[in-house]
Homo-oligomer: A and B are copies of this chain.
Amino acid sequence: MLTAKGAATRERIVLGAAELIRGRGLSVGLDDIRGATSTSKSQLFHYFPDGKADLLLAVARHEAARVLGDQQPHLADLTTWEKWLAWRDRVIEIYDGQRAGCPLSALVSQLATPGAREIITELYEQWHRHLVTGIDALKANGATPAGLDENRAATTILTAVTGGANLLQATGDMTYLETALTDALESLRN
């Protein structure tokens, strides 16, 4: 267990590393991170015994939390159709600002470890649960078509976001995300 002070120091290193990597990519070295976060070598290895791989995994965990955090307060309050549209607009805005690529994907493809994969799997599962909760709220309001399967619908919506973001990054064209996400949401409407 870390002390409160230890946890704060560790958090400061992770945040500093995340900002550096967002700006300069994965070529950032441990010395750059130590410089930016005023950390000694022994401190760094105290919190991240395996060095860079360890630290990058912590940064990936931070970036995964940020993927959902960036969608708040919308993602936790998908109780009306208007709120779903506001969430859609926020998602489009986020990926529009990230055309150069998602920091988390870059980290995960670099790490390619079971730990990194677990972070991603858990992220999509949490994201999926938020969407299911929102669809259930719409359902409770009687605003959805009869027989709507909230698990399927959430899966289709999440896949539209992922594919749209991916195609935006690959082609520079926003149409995929806008169209696919809007179409996926249509299935929620009565």
Residues of A within 8 A of B (CB): 108-109, 117, 120-121, 124, 152-153, 155-156, 158-164, 166-167, 170-173, 175-177, 179-180, 183-184, 187
Contact = CB atoms under 8 A, between A and B. Distances in A.
Contacts of A160: 156, 159-160, 163, 180
Given A120-B171, A159-B160, A162-B167, 5 more contacts: A109-B109, A153-B183, A160-B180, A163-B163, A183-B184
Contacts of A156: 160, 179-180, 183-184
Contacts of A171: 117, 120-121, 124
Closest 7 CB pairs of A and B: A163-B163, A159-B180, A162-B163, A159-B163, A155-B179, A156-B183, A121-B171
